[in-house]
Chains A and B, each alone.
Chain A
Amino acid sequence: MIIEARDVKHFYGDFCALDGVTLGVEAGQLVSIIGPNGAGKSTLINVLTGLLQPSAGSVRFKGRDIAGAGPVRLARLGLARSFQLVQIFPDLTVLETLQAAAVSRLGRGRRLLASLAADGEVRRDAEHVADLFGLGEKLHAPSRTLPQGDKKLLDVAAAFALRPAAILLDEPTSGVSTRDKTTVMQMLVRASRGIGVQAILLVEHDMDIVFGYSDRIVALQQGRILVDTTPDGLRTDETVLATLVGRATATASAAPGP
């Protein structure tokens, strides 16, 4: 078990955002978290990525307690994340962004007088990841000048550049046109193989993506796990589907994925 949350509860004042969530992600799995707005997806992610200390329950990553560990420690332990709202370094180039991730991974951030340009390992690492995400031609473009889709990819690519054991992707295809979503997802899957990411936790609204790429789907509703099953299991569960995505989309999405 790479990520393991056990009976996690989280309260905002009196409001119970997570009401006893137990969830495990194993090596080799892509697990999608779905659910309507307000179901507790964001809170769950923030708990799993150590940003929030849960009010009760435990969160473990590779057997280590990570409740409230904070993003810096988690990134070093090998749990990376990307953001729903694109997060980039506007004045850094694509290459520099990925170099920063490599520098962090290799623990070279305190090399005060070394030359970054002369660090071949960091550079090769960054270029390799850029190629995996189709950003190889734009290495020297300042991030702020990239088209929106590339910014999103760069955000994700930087997380992959940490070569994490597990990665949490918060709507990696939001803001990407429907046509390009598949491209992005294929890129993600290929990149995680190329880099050796063992587990992916995906938050996604697009049900075609969810059905097409997940090994397991976890549906949240009102802070509880409504169902934790395979795509096939969910497709055949009409009642849950209806609750989750509404009748119309349920029928449309119930068709076999790509």
Chain B
Amino acid sequence: MRRPQAVAVIVALAAALALPRMAPAYHVTLMLPFMAYGIALLGLNLLFGYTGLVSFGHALFLGIGAYTGAFLTTHTRVRSIEIILLVAALGAAAVAAPVGALCVRYVKIYFGMLTLAFGMLFYTFVLKFYHLTGGDEGMRFLRPSLLGQPLGDLSKTAYLVGPYYYYSLALLVLATVAMWRIVHSPFGLCLRTVRDNPLKAESLGLSVPRYRWYAFVISAVYAGAGGVLLAVPTGNVDPTLAYWTHSGNLVFMTLLGGFASFFGPIAGALVFIYLQDTVMSLFLYWRLVFGAILAALVLFAPTGLAGLVVRRQPPEAAHR
């Protein structure tokens, strides 16, 4: 890691640790979806920034995570978030394996459209299978225990801004460290060869579909875990989680932060959450503002916020 980057990460981490003591509860709860998206985007960017595939269907895996948690807490006696996360990750991987095997045979817009189609298929499924998913009303996601602590006596806010906040933060840090290892591994290098030049990668004995598939499944596992974390604060899951605009938001956050940088998408999630919160309270047509921002990004800052901070820095080019 380069020095300024390391300093920024340490400062950000310290700020995140101190936040619940310094900021009002409302701002602390805004951080919860940010951390959930942060995890999902780490995965999405393995696919997007490092493997060169843009998925417009990743809300599918957020949805699998969220619905897994809701189903387990309402239909079974499972309350442990660790078990929920594990089942969600496995569920996401189990769905991603066949879906990915189909999608990675295509690239660019065809890949994007296929992932979109699978996302919509899942959306329709949760909408129509009323008895299982509660249809458009959704399902409750009962408060999970953290590290075996039921925490049932805390008020909802106290639970969220206290133990749950720190739990999410720890999970985000863990997910970040794991992803950092992945992108700096021999495997991570192979993904980047596949992104840069599939023809050359194959001639070097690296199977392009196989590496795309690995990246797809890993990104789905991350999104599944992110989906669990996203649903806990609202205590309810509904089909909009899996709707295609939600997938679009994930891509938007990634573009906003910058897909060419490791931390870009996480920063994008943070800015997105606060921007959405601010603009929504000021302006009824907040989507209009977001549309304008997206257009400006693509035209003037295709490398996102990270690209504005560091001029043209491909993912981990020469530095350690």
Q: Residues on A close to B: CB < 8 A?
A: 49, 70-72, 75-76, 80-83, 87-93, 96-97, 99-101, 103-105, 108-117, 119, 122, 140, 142, 155, 158-159, 162
A79 to B318, CA, bound (A): 30
What residue in chain A is nearest B318 (Cβ atoms)? A140
- A sample of 7 inter-chain contacts (CB < 8 A) reads A72-B206, A75-B205, A89-B201, A91-B315, A100-B204, A103-B190, A109-B211
What mask results when residues 301 to 315 of chain B are scored 1 for a CB within 8 Å of chain A, else 0? 000000000000011
Within 8 Å of chain A (Cβ to Cβ): is B200?
yes
- A76-B205, A115-B181, A158-B204 given as contacts; is B317 within 8 A of A91 (CB)? yes
Top 5 closest A-B pairs, CB basis?
Answer: A75-B205, A89-B196, A91-B314, A87-B200, A140-B318
A104 contacts which of B184, B204, B314 (Cβ < 8 Å)?
A: B204
* A104/B196 in contact, CB under 8 A: no
B185 contacts which of A82, A112, A158 (Cβ < 8 Å)?
A: A112
- A104-B205, A109-B211, A112-B182 given as contacts; is B197 within 8 A of A89 (CB)? yes
* A117/B189 in contact, CB under 8 A: no
Give the interface centre of B184, B205, B214, B315 by most chain A CB atoms within 10 Å: B205
* B189/A116 in contact, CB under 8 A: yes
Interface of B is mostly: helix
* A88/B197 in contact, CB under 8 A: yes
A72 to B207, CA, bound (A): 6
A88 to B189, CA, bound (A): 14
Q: How far is the CB of B245 from chain A (nearest CB, A)?
A: 31
Within 8 Å of chain A (Cβ to Cβ): is B193?
yes
Q: How far is the CB of A129 from chain B (nearest CB, A)?
A: 12
A112-B185, A142-B317, A155-B200 are known contacts; what are 12 more A-B pairs with Cβ within 8 Å? A72-B206, A75-B203, A75-B204, A83-B200, A89-B200, A90-B196, A100-B192, A100-B201, A109-B186, A111-B187, A112-B181, A122-B186
Give the interface centre of B203, B314, B317 by most chain A CB atoms within 10 Å: B203
Q: How far is the CB of B29 from chain A (nearest CB, A)?
A: 33
A91 contacts which of B187, B192, B202 (Cβ < 8 Å)?
A: B192
* B187/A110 in contact, CB under 8 A: yes
Q: Which of B194-227 contact A (CB under 8 A)?
A: 195-197, 199-207, 211, 214
- A72-B207, A111-B185, A112-B187 given as contacts; is B200 within 8 A of A158 (CB)? yes
Q: Which residues of the other chain, A, contact B204 by a CB distance below 8 angstroms? A: 75, 80, 100-101, 104, 158-159, 162
* B205/A105 in contact, CB under 8 A: yes
A218 to B193, CA, bound (A): 34
* B196/A92 in contact, CB under 8 A: yes
A70 to B203, CA, bound (A): 9
* A104/B206 in contact, CB under 8 A: yes
* A162/B205 in contact, CB under 8 A: yes
Within 8 Å of chain A (Cβ to Cβ): is B248?
no
Q: Which residues of the other chain, B, contact A72 by a CB distance below 8 angstroms? A: 202, 205-207
* A89/B193 in contact, CB under 8 A: yes
Q: How far is the CB of B201 from chain A (nearest CB, A)?
A: 8
A70 to B189, CA, bound (A): 22
Give the interface centre of A87, A88, A119, A122 by most chain B CB atoms within 10 Å: A87
A230 to B113, CA, bound (A): 55
A119 to B192, CA, bound (A): 18
A113 contacts which of B178, B315, B318 (Cβ < 8 Å)?
A: B178
* B185/A113 in contact, CB under 8 A: yes
A70 to B202, CA, bound (A): 9
* B200/A119 in contact, CB under 8 A: no
What residue in chain B is nearest A158 (Cβ atoms)? B204
Within 8 Å of chain A (Cβ to Cβ): is B188?
yes
A61 to B297, CA, bound (A): 51
Give the interface centre of A76, A100, A111 by most chain B CB atoms within 10 Å: A100
* B202/A88 in contact, CB under 8 A: no
Q: How far is the CB of B314 from chain A (nearest CB, A)?
A: 4
Q: How far is the CB of A51 from chain B (nearest CB, A)?
A: 9
Q: How far is the CB of A186 from chain B (nearest CB, A)?
A: 24
* A87/B318 in contact, CB under 8 A: no
A159 contacts which of B203, B315, B320 (Cβ < 8 Å)?
A: B203
A102 to B84, CA, bound (A): 40
- A91-B192, A155-B200 given as contacts; is B205 within 8 A of A116 (CB)? no
Give the interface centre of B189, B192, B196 by most chain A CB atoms within 10 Å: B189
A101 to B189, CA, bound (A): 10
* A100/B185 in contact, CB under 8 A: no
- A92-B196, A100-B190 given as contacts; is B203 within 8 A of A71 (CB)? yes
A80 to B202, CA, bound (A): 10
* B192/A87 in contact, CB under 8 A: no
* A80/B320 in contact, CB under 8 A: no
A35 to B200, CA, bound (A): 26
Q: Which residues of the other chain, A, contact B185 by a CB distance below 8 angstroms? A: 111-116
Q: Which residues of the other chain, B, contact A80 by a CB distance below 8 angstroms? A: 203-204
A119 to B187, CA, bound (A): 12
